[in-house]
């Protein structure tokens, strides 16, 4: 794999894990796969960026500044010298220097892992594609939660699948972590 590809680890933060303020479905399993991708990039000296969200909106209930829940989960915690972008919106590019950081490194393709599939992963993948990056989303390294629409409950696995199916139609290549590592490691 070339150094023109970067891994984006989006919002793998404590509040999304069991005991956190906004637990997601399968967060631990997704974080384990994100760690596989992180190790793959680290072992090869490939670029990576940790993205961390802090909620500044009035009435926010999770990812509050200065709380343990807003910190990146230890399973994928940044090492000294690794790039960390702080964001306040679902789109990791909005009002951050993420695009500038990536372009300064000659990045042409991003591999996305993290949470939530239905919000920040989706918004960032679409923005990256709109900015001209190639995009790959590792589906088993992302986590979602159940939603409700018009009185109908939508279980987390269906939310996850629907958003990934939509991304796969025109914004991203959607693959498993194992398939990505197998193909990229050749």
Residues with active-site annotation: 11, 87, 120
Token pair listed for 111: 């591999």
d(CA 45, CA 27): 26
* Dist CA 95 CA 88 (whole Å): 8
CB contact set of 84 (below 8 Å; sequence gap of 6+) = 49, 50, 51, 52, 72, 78
Q: Is 117 helix (H, G, I), strand (E, B) or coil?
A: helix
């Amino acid at each position: 794999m070339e150094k023109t590809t970067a891994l984006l680890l989006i919002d793998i933060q404590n509040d999304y894990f069991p005991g956190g303020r906004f637990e997601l479905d399968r967060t631990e399993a997704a974080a384990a796969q994100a760690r596989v991708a992180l190790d793959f990039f680290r072992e090869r000296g490939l670029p990576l960026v940790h993205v961390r969200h802090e909620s500044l909106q009035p009435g926010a209930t999770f990812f509050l500044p200065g709380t343990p829940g807003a910190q990146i989960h230890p399973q994928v915690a940044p090492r000294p010298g690794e790039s960390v972008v702080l964001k306040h919106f679902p789109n990791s590019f909005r009002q951050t220097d993420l695009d500038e950081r990536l372009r300064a490194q000659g990045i042409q393709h991003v591999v996305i892992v993290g949470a939530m599939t239905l919000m920040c992963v989706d918004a960032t993948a679409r923005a990256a594609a709109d900015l001209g990056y190639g995009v790959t989303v590792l589906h088993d390294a992302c986590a979602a939660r159940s939603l409700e629409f018009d009185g109908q409950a939508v279980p987390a696995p269906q939310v996850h699948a629907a958003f990934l199916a939509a991304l796969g139609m025109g914004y991203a290549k959607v693959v498993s972590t194992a398939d990505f590592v197998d193909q990229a490691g050749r």
